[in-house]
C-alpha cells in the first residue's frame, strides 16, 4: 500500500472514531524504552497510541485536568462528541497502559509564560528533567496563547479571546467549574475562522445577540461560506469588510466597539486580498462582550531565549514554532515535536497525521539503532 495513502487511512480512523490505539488489538510486550509525550492533544494522543502498540512505555504530561487538548477543551460537542474522545483516552489508559500525568505544566525558562489553561496546573516540571528521565520525548503542546489586537480598550473587562471564551463553556460541561459561564448580552465576535464560528454559536445558543465582524468577505473566510452562512441562519449578523479599531470602555467594561470599513487590495503573503482601511468609514456597534478570534500562537515548553534553546538543543523560529527536520527531530536527538507547536494552528486531521509521522520516525530510528548495535 502507498505510504501516504496508508497514513491518511490511519488519520481518518482516528479522526472519525477517536481510536488512538487501533494499531494493536492488545498490549504488546514492552521493549524496555520509556517515552514522554508532552501535551495530550490530537498529535500527542495519536503518537502515544502508535508507540504503545509498538511496546514503548508511555507517560503523557498535560497541564489540564482532563487529557484531550483542544478537541476536549475548546471544540464544541456538536462538532466532536467529548464522550468519543474520552473513550479513546480511556482505551489508551486501560488497554495499552498509557499513563496520563495531568495538572502538570512542562516548561523551562527564567521568565514564566502565562498561557490559557495554566490555571489548572498544580506544578511545573522543567523540560530538562523530562529529557533526563526518558529515552525519547515528543513535544506536542499545541497553541494555547491567543493573539488579541493591541487597540485602545482591548484590556477592558468583557474582552476575551475565542479560545478562552469557548474554553469556559467546555469546562462547565466537563464539570470542572461549577458556575455556568455568562455569554454576554450583545456579543461581537471578530474573525472568520472556525474559532469565530464556535464562539458565535456558543453565544447564540446562550440567547445572546451576536455580531460577527470579518475584515474580508465571506468568500475569503477560513471557515468557508457555508459555516458563515450557517451561523447567519442561526441569528448572527455578519458584518463583512470591517475591522475593529477601538474598544469603547465605560467603568472598566466594554460598552461598544468602533470599527472601520475595509476594501480589498492586492493579495498579501497568505494569497488572499489584503484588507485596506477606508478613511472616514468608522462606525460603532454596542456590545458588552468582544471575542477576538484572531489566531493563536504556539506554546512550546521552553522560553524563546538563546540560552535555553542551546541548552536543550531545541530551536524556535520567530513565531515560536519548534523547528524540526524531515523526521520530526529537533536539534536534540532525544526530542521530537509534532502538531500545532510545529506548524502553527491547524485542523485535527493534520495534527493527527503529524503525531503519527513523529511516532513512526521515533520507532523506526530506534529500530535502526538496535540493528546497528546488534551488528557491532
Instruction: Measure the CA–CA gap between 263 and 368, rounded to whole angstroms.
Output: 56
Tell me, yes or no, whether 188 and 212 share the same domain. yes
Cβ atoms of 299 and 113 within 8 Å: the answer is yes
Q: What is the pTM of this model?
A: 0.94
Cβ atoms of 298 and 319 within 8 Å: the answer is yes
The C-alpha cell of 290 is what?
Answer: 468582544
Q: What burial letters (b/e) apply to 179-211, b meaning 16+ CB within 10 Å?
A: eebebbebbbbbbbbbbbbbbbbbbbebebbbb
Residue 4 DSSP symbol: H
Provide the percentage of residues in the chain whose pLDDT is more than 90: 88
Numbers of helices and strands, H then E, in the chain:
11, 18
Whether 376 has a pLDDT exceeding 80, the answer reads no
- Among 273, 292, 311, where does a domain finish? 292
What pLDDT does 306 receive? 82
Beta bridge partners of 335: 137
Instruction: Measure the CA–CA gap between 126 and 296, rounded to whole angstroms.
Output: 23
The C-alpha cell of 109 is what?
Answer: 525558562
167-171 average pLDDT score = 97
Instruction: Measure the CA–CA gap between 76 and 70, rounded to whole angstroms.
Output: 10
Q: Any idea what the CATH number is for the domain that residue 270 is in?
A: 3.50.50.60
Q: pLDDT for 197-236, tens place per residue? A: 999 999 999 999 999 999 999 999 999 999 999 999 999 9
**What's the whole-number average pLDDT of the chain?**
95
Tell me, yes or no, whether 329 and 230 share the same domain. no
Our count of domains for the chain comes to: 2
Tell me, yes or no, whether 55 and 106 share the same domain. yes
Q: pLDDT category, 1, cuts 50, 70, 90?
A: very low
Tell me, yes or no, whether 283 and 304 share the same domain. no
Q: Which domain holds residue 54?
A: 3-144+296-375
What pLDDT does 157 receive? 98
- Among 248, 266, 292, where does a domain finish? 292
Q: Which of 9-13, 21-25, 315-319, 337-341 has the lowest mean pLDDT?
A: 9-13
Whether 246 has a pLDDT exceeding 90, the answer reads yes
Instruction: Measure the CA–CA gap between 239 and 229, rounded to whole angstroms.
Output: 12
What pLDDT does 318 receive? 94
Q: Which of 291, 67, 91 is nearest to 176 (CA)?
A: 67
Tell me, yes or no, whether 236 and 271 share the same domain. yes
Tell me, yes or no, whether 186 and 103 share the same domain. no
The position carrying cell 514522554 is: 36
Q: pLDDT for 299-340, tens place per residue? A: 999 998 888 888 899 999 999 999 999 999 999 999 999 999
End-to-end CA distance of the chain: 33
Tell me, yes or no, whether 237 and 131 share the same domain. no
Tell me, yes or no, whether 243 and 208 share the same domain. yes
Whether 5 has a pLDDT exceeding 60, the answer reads no
- Among 255, 270, 292, where does a domain finish? 292
Amino acid at each position: 500500500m502507498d505510504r501516504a495513502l496508508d497514513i491518511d487511512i490511519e488519520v481518518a480512523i482516528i479522526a472519525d472514531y477517536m481510536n488512538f490505539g487501533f494499531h494493536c488489538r492488545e498490549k504488546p510486550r514492552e521493549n524496555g524504552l520509556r517515552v514522554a509525550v508532552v501535551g495530550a492533544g490530537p498529535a500527542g494522543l495519536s503518537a502515544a497510541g502508535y508507540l504503545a502498540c509498538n511496546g514503548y512505555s508511555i507517560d503523557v504530561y498535560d497541564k489540564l485536568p482532563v487529557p484531550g487538548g483542544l478537541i476536549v477543551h475548546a471544540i464544541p460537542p456538536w462538532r466532536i462528541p467529548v464522550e468519543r474522545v474520552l473513550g479513546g483516552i480511556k482505551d489508551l489508559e486501560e488497554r495499552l497502559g498509557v499513563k496520563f500525568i495531568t495538572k502538570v505544566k512542562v516548561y523551562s525558562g527564567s521568565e514564566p509564560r502565562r498561557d490559557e489553561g495554566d490555571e489548572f496546573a498544580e506544578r511545573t516540571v522543567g523540560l530538562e528533567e523530562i529529557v533526563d528521565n526518558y529515552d525519547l520525548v515528543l513535544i506536542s503542546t499545541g497553541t494555547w496563547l491567543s493573539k488579541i489586537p493591541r487597540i485602545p480598550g482591548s484590556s477592558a473587562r468583557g474582552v476575551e479571546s475565542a479560545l478562552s471564551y469557548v474554553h469556559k463553556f467546555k469546562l462547565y460541561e466537563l464539570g470542572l467549574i461549577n458556575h455556568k459561564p455568562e455569554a454576554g448580552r450583545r456579543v461581537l465576535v471578530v474573525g472568520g475562522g472556525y474559532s469565530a464560528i464556535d464562539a458565535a454559536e456558543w453565544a447564540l445558543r446562550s440567547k445572546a445577540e451576536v455580531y460577527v465582524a470579518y475584515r474580508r468577505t465571506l468568500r475569503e473566510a477560513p471557515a468557508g461560506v457555508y459555516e458563515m452562512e450557517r451561523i447567519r441562519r442561526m441569528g448572527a449578523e455578519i458584518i463583512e469588510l470591517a475591522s475593529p479599531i477601538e474598544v469603547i470602555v465605560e467603568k472598566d467594561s466594554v460598552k461598544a466597539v468602533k470599527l472601520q470599513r475595509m476594501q480589498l487590495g492586492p493579495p498579501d503573503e497568505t494569497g488572499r486580498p489584503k484588507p485596506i482601511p477606508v478613511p472616514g468609514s468608522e462606525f460603532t456597534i454596542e456590545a458588552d462582550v468582544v471575542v477576538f478570534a484572531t489566531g493563536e500562537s504556539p506554546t512550546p515548553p521552553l522560553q524563546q531565549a538563546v540560552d535555553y534553546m542551546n541548552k536543550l538543543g531545541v530551536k524556535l523560529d520567530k513565531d515560536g514554532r519548534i523547528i524540526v527536520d524531515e523526521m520530526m527531530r529537533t536539534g536534540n536527538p532525544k526530542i521530537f515535536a509534532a502538531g500545532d507547536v510545529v506548524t502553527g494552528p491547524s485542523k485535527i486531521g493534520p495534527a493527527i497525521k503529524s503525531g503519527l509521522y513523529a511516532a513512526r520516525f521515533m520507532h523506526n530510528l530506534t529500530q535502526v539503532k538496535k540493528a546497528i548495535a546488534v551488528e557491532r
